Amino acid sequence: MTTPEPHSGNVWPIWEVFVRSSRGLSHVHAGSLHAPDAAMALRNARDLYTRRNEGVSIWVVPADAIASSDPDAKGAFFESPQGKDYRHATYYTKSEGVKHL
């Protein structure tokens, strides 16, 4: 388990919490919390985010270990897939009516 850069004094770093609500599903971001290290972050997450049976598995990630896309690149970064309908089954109409296809 990794631990983020320790913060000085008595302020604990932020962790992002991901919860798998039941087997077969992916972990979903549930929220964040403060904890001194990964072991305590997991326990705090268990106490805080699964006290009503919300989950069967938890991930905790140091908040500053997450890399994210540039918020200003909304258009450019996500533009390319638009208009490429040939990636979608609905693009292929000639086979309509053919069974099991």
Partner 1 sequence: MSTPETTETAALAEETAGHGDISVGVAGSSNSGEATASATRITPGNALRPEDIALAVSRGTAKPSEDAAELALRLGDDALILAQRLGHWISRAPELEEDIALGNIALDQLGHARSFLSYAGGLDGRSEDDLAYFRREHEFRSVELFEQPNGDFAVTIARQFVVSYYQFELYRRLAQSTDATLAGIAAKAVKEVDYHRDHSAQWVLRLAHGTEESRTRMIHGFKVIWPYVDELFRDDELTARLSESGVAVQPSSLRADFDRLTGEVLAEAELDVPQVPAAPGGGRRGFHSEHLGYLLAEMQVLAREFPGASW
Partner 2 sequence: MASQTLQSVPAEPSPARHETRHEMSPEDAARRDAEGQAYFDKVMAEDSRIEPRDWMPPAYRKTLLRQISQHAHSEIIGMQPEANWISRAPSLKRKSILMAKVQDEAGHGLYLYSAAETLGQPRDQMMQDLMAGKAKYSSIFNYPARTWADMGAIGWMVDGAAIANQVPLCRASFGPYGRAMVRVCKEESFHQRQGFEILLELSNGTPEQKQMAQDAVNRWYAPALMMFGPPDDDSPNSKQSMAWNIKRFSNDELRNRFVGMMMEQVKVLGLTLPDKDIRFNEDTKKWEHGPLDWEEFHEVIAGRGQCNAQRLERRREAHENGAWVREAAAAYAEKQAKKSAEKVSAA
Residue 76 φ/ψ, nearest 5 degrees:
-55, -50
Query: Tokens representing 99?
Result: 């069974």
Contact 12, 35 (CB under 8 A): yes
Binding mask 32-71 for partner 2 (x = CB under 8 A): xxx-xx--x-------x--xx----------xxxxxxxxx
**DSSP H/E element including 48:** helix 38-49
Number of chain residues interacting with partner 2 (CB under 8 A): 37
Residue 44 binding partner 1, by CB under 8 A: yes
**How many residues touch partner 1 (CB under 8 A)?**
27
Q: φ and ψ at 91, to 5 degrees?
A: -70, -25
Choice from 16, 33, 61, 62 touching partner 1 (CB under 8 A): 33
Q: Which 71-100 positions form the footprint of partner 2 (CB under 8 A)?
A: 71-74, 76-77
